[in-house]
Amino acid sequence: MIVRAKIVVTMDGPPLENGAVAVSEEQIVDVGKFPEISKAYSNEEVVDLGEQVLLPGLINAHCHLDYTCLRGKIPRQKSFTDWIRAINAAKAKLFPADYVRSINEGFAEAKHFGTTTIANLTAFPELVPQIKAPIRTWWFAELIDVRDPSRANELVGLAVAPLKSQEHWGLAPHAPFTASADLYRRCKEIADREDILLATHLAESREEMSMFGDARGPLYEFLKEIGRDVSDCGRSTPLGNFLSAVGRGGLPNRPQAIEVNRPYLVAHLNEITQSDLDLLGKSKPQFQIVHCPRSHEYFGHLPFQFEKLRELGFNICLGTDSLASNEDLSLFAEMRAFQKEFPNVSPEEVLEMVTVKPAHALRHENALGKIRAGFIADIIALPLTRSTAAFEEILAFEKPVSWSLIGGRVLA
Ligand SMILES: [Zn+2]
């Protein structure tokens, strides 16, 4: 099949006017100007999309489809800890069937907004075999052992069993305040053995900073109340704590430190100090950073240190987070929210944060995120009105995506 459009934004060089992509089975076999492509593949069926722009399908680097059904249900709270209490109360009313429905609805919405790949954290890996994902999905089991850290290994084992048959999967110890160092360590062992990805949340809120930094504040009190061992608090920043407890060095009470020598999809990093930035520069952990602009705005976190993190050479992607702190699963809206925060970043670079960069974070930089021969045919099309500024027009897009290909198959 040859797909022709007025503009092809390949993310692999400048946009092509009157461009075309040749697709065979699930792969892109060629891309170029329409006259050349149609001559080279003259027997192929031509799908002419007319006045549209073709671009790589979008990649959401951090999401929790479990909570799609909580859209609009959790009003903004005074604190991050209050939000945790509110989401826990909402979750107490949900049953497995509600989560299955929620995940399926989330997939439909993500697809509708042009997302063709998603890194989805689920607290219910046992439900995954019941779900047929309509888009390319990295399933991460989100793990929490704060109430019973002695079960760390068992929890990981229970999560791995239903995920192992999935094409792409990983493990996500939730955050250093809910996942023990043993849980992080076990996930890392499994990641080494199975060669899978890891994900976590880090330095998300001010309260996490006062917990690890000063052993006080609402999050500290809440976790102490539910029985968390808080002997790792009052020593360092969340990042410093993470790198020493989970990474190199080790803490006195966590002697078997493990190294952050595997790629980690790290969501947030909102609360970082200058010393954290120095530490990141020095220790160069394999962090693939995910910023969630609208969730960030919902919680009113400190400004995200985009420029400084980028300067240190980190790969920074965008994610929607869940609908318990965001209003929809559109990465177009996420790109616009990012642009509002960082108006100096070019629209092309913003688009990279939902294509090329997350493809790299998922270790698929040679298969996803670009329209290039040999890559997987995950492609979307949007109507064009002003052909002069393709990137601006892509970022401004607000409607559902009407045409997409996933693995070379046209999505209904
Ligand atoms: Zn998250």
DSSP-derived secondary structure letter, 346:
-
What is the overall mean pLDDT for the chain? 93
Residue 254 pLDDT level (bands cut at 50, 70, 90): very low
Query: What is the Cα–Cα distance from 187 to 174, expressed in whole angstroms?
Result: 11
The token pair at 218 is 């609402």
What number is the average pLDDT over the span 223-239?
94
Ligand 1 centre from 63 Cα, in Å? 6
Ligand 1 centre from 243 Cα, in Å? 19
pLDDT at residue 250 tops 50: no
pLDDT at residue 174 tops 80: yes
CB under 8 Å to 56, separation ≥6 — which residues?
Answer: 9, 10, 11, 116, 355, 368, 369, 370, 371, 378, 379, 380
Ligand 1 centre from 7 Cα, in Å? 35
pLDDT at residue 47 tops 80: yes
Give SS3 for 357. Answer: helix
Using CA atoms, how far residue 224 sits from 79, 206, 213, in Å, is 17, 17, 15
pLDDT at residue 387 tops 70: no
pLDDT at residue 252 tops 60: no
pLDDT at residue 53 tops 90: yes
pLDDT at position 78 is: 87
DSSP-derived secondary structure letter, 287:
E
Ligand 1 centre from 72 Cα, in Å? 17
Ligand 1 centre from 162 Cα, in Å? 21
List the beta bridge partners of residue 267. 201, 290
Ligand 1 centre from 64 Cα, in Å? 6
Tell me the H-state helices in 301-374.
306-311, 331-341, 347-352, 356-361
Amino acid at 5: A
The token pair at 204 is 């998300």
- As a whole-number percent, the residues of the chain with pLDDT over 70 amount to 95
Q: In what order do the strands lie in the sheet with 58-63?
A: 58-63, 115-122, 136-143, 169-173, 197-202, 264-268, 287-291, 315-318
- The closest alpha carbon to 61, from 133, 20, 117, 14, belongs to 117
pLDDT at position 184 is: 92
Residue 256 pLDDT level (bands cut at 50, 70, 90): very low
- As a whole-number percent, the residues of the chain with pLDDT over 90 amount to 87
pLDDT at residue 253 tops 60: no
pLDDT at position 21 is: 98
pLDDT tens digits along 180-196: 989 998 999 999 999 99
Of the given ranges (59-73, 337-351, 385-399), which has the lowest mean pLDDT? Answer: 385-399
Ligand 1 centre from 118 Cα, in Å? 13
pLDDT at position 317 is: 98
pLDDT tens digits along 327-384: 999 999 999 999 999 999 999 999 999 999 999 999 999 999 999 999 999 999 999 8
CB 117 within 8 A of CB 132: no
Residue 245 pLDDT level (bands cut at 50, 70, 90): confident
- Residue 199: how many CB atoms within 10 A of its CB? 27
Ligand 1 centre from 44 Cα, in Å? 44
